[in-house]
């Protein structure tokens, strides 16, 4: 007695309809992978060129055909770029710039994370008159262009006498100025059964304890996803420092790059120095994303499910 060893391949060979479906499946997968490779190339090729240029000597910058791999490799560009910047603006050293940038970015990031979490928790857990209307109005503010509030914001901080300080770059983060972050966290809070709140209340926990010890750990993926987005947004923020800071000792990394580029515009562009700075600026963002990648993707996916 011979066992029946029919496989999908043999079935497709004898059945024209199954063969057509198999061919369509294979073709669809090939097309998907081709599109993914094409999209990855669009992102990785400019990044690779940035890193490659940052390691080139000045005489390799404008050769034709362009050289993808630097020869020789000039690692000293990462040190010489900051020496060049310090010679243009004395006191604007690497450590000062990184200290300014990290201070603003980290403080604003934690301010956005916790203020957004508190507001989102209120919208998701408390019932009060006009809650949905207020939530809708808050989401509507996402459609207001940032340029519309630029001048009024500047006038307000000028009246407070806080221009050329870090306050306009950090204090607004404490006011839950990210409606998208609030929306994402609110969706996450709505997925948590209210029985968790009731059980904690029976055990004697108050609202603050429930929020910090029960709710926040349960929305960890969304909380960390917001942290990554907030870090990236503040790290790459050029507009606000450009408006509120006018002393070089207070400059952030991206503002220092802009200042360095404009200072060198009269001579031949030193792209190897600019790309070295750009690589150093992109490195923390990439490191943070890959470190929290699992939580970042989970937070965005799960937060978008609950309606």
Residue 2 maps to a domain: no
Please check whether residue 295 lies inside any domain of the structure: yes
Report the C-alpha gap between 54 and 61 in whole angstroms: 10
Confidence (pLDDT) at 246: 85
What is the rounded CA–CA span in Å between residue 232 and residue 283?
11
> Does the residue 67 lie in any domain?
no
**Is the Cβ–Cβ distance between 112 and 173 less than 8 Å?**
yes
pLDDT value at residue 305 = 47
The pLDDT assigned to 153 comes to 87
Domains contained in the chain, number: 2
Considering the domain boundaries, does residue 237 fall inside one?
yes
Could you read off the pLDDT of 76-122 as tens digits, one per residue? 888 888 887 777 777 778 888 888 999 999 999 999 999 999 999 98
Q: What is the pLDDT of residue 307?
A: 45
| 81 and 174 part of one domain | yes
Range of the domain at 159: 77-303
Q: What is the pLDDT of residue 108?
A: 92
**pTM listed for this prediction:** 0.79
- Helix 293-303 vs helix 220-235: angle between axes, to the nearest 10 degrees? 110
173 and 45 share one domain: no
In the block, tokens 């499910």 appear at 305
Residue with tokens 């209340």: 201
With bands split at pLDDT 50, 70 and 90, how would you rate the model's confidence at 304? very low
φ and ψ of 238, to 5 deg = -100, -35
Is position 195 within any domain? Answer: yes
| Three-point CA angle 99, 101, 103, nearest 5° | 65
| pLDDT, tens digit (0-9, with 9 covering 90-100), for 49-81 | 888 888 888 777 777 887 788 888 888 888 888
Contact 225, 295 (CB under 8 A): yes
Both 126 and 185 in a single domain?
A: yes
Residue bearing tokens 């503040």: 234
**Does residue 179 sit in the same domain as residue 284?**
yes
pLDDT digits (tens, 9 = 90+) for 163-177: 888 999 898 888 877
3-state secondary structure of 211: helix
Q: For 220-232, how does the pLDDT look when each residue is reduced to its tens digit (9 = 90+)?
A: 888 888 888 888 8
* Cα gap 43→188, rounded to integer Å: 30
Pair (293, 185) in one structural domain: yes
| 27 and 155 within one domain | no
The pLDDT assigned to 66 comes to 79
Q: What is the mean pLDDT of residues 249-276?
A: 78
163 and 226 belong to one structural domain: yes
Sequence-distant (6+) residues with CB within 8 A of 73 are: 55
- Identify whether the C-beta of residue 135 lies closer than 8 Å to the C-beta of residue 75: no
Same domain, yes or no: 35 and 83: no
Residue 126: name the closest of 221, 222, 190, 214 by CA. 190
CATH number of the domain that 201 lies in? Answer: 1.10.3720.10
Residue, of 261 and 156, whose pLDDT is higher: 156
């Amino acid at each position: 007695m011979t066992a029946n060893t029919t496989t999908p391949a043999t079935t497709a060979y004898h059945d024209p309809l199954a063969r057509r479906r198999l061919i369509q499946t294979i073709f669809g997968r090939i097309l998907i992978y081709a599109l993914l490779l094409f999209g990855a190339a669009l992102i990785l090729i400019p990044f690779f060129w940035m890193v490659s240029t940052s390691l080139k000597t000045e005489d390799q910058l404008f050769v034709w055909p362009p050289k993808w791999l630097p020869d020789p490799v000039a690692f000293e560009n990462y040190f010489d770029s900051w020496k060049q910047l310090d010679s243009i603006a004395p006191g604007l050293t690497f450590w000062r710039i990184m200290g300014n940038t990290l201070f603003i970015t980290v403080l604003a990031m934690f301010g956005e994370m916790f203020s957004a979490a508190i507001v989102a928790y209120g919208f998701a857990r408390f019932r009060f008159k006009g809650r949905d209307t207020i939530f809708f109005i808050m989401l509507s503010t996402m459609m207001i262009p940032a340029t519309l509030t630029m001048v009024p914001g500047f006038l307000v901080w000028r009246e407070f006498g806080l221009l050329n300080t870090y306050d306009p770059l950090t204090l607004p983060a404490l006011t839950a100025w990210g409606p998208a972050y609030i929306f994402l966290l609110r969706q996450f809070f709505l997925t948590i059964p209210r029985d968790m709140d009731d059980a904690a209340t029976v055990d004697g926990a108050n609202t603050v304890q429930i929020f910090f010890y029960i709710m926040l750990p349960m929305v960890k993926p969304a909380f960390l996803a917001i942290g990554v987005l907030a870090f990236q947004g503040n790290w790459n923020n050029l507009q606000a420092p450009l408006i509120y800071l006018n002393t070089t000792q207070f400059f952030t990394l991206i503002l220092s790059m802009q200042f360095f580029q404009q200072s060198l515009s009269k001579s031949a562009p030193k792209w190897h120095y600019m790309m070295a700075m750009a690589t150093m600026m992109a490195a923390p963002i990439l490191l943070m994303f890959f470190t929290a990648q699992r939580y970042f993707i989970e937070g965005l996916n799960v937060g978008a499910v609950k309606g």
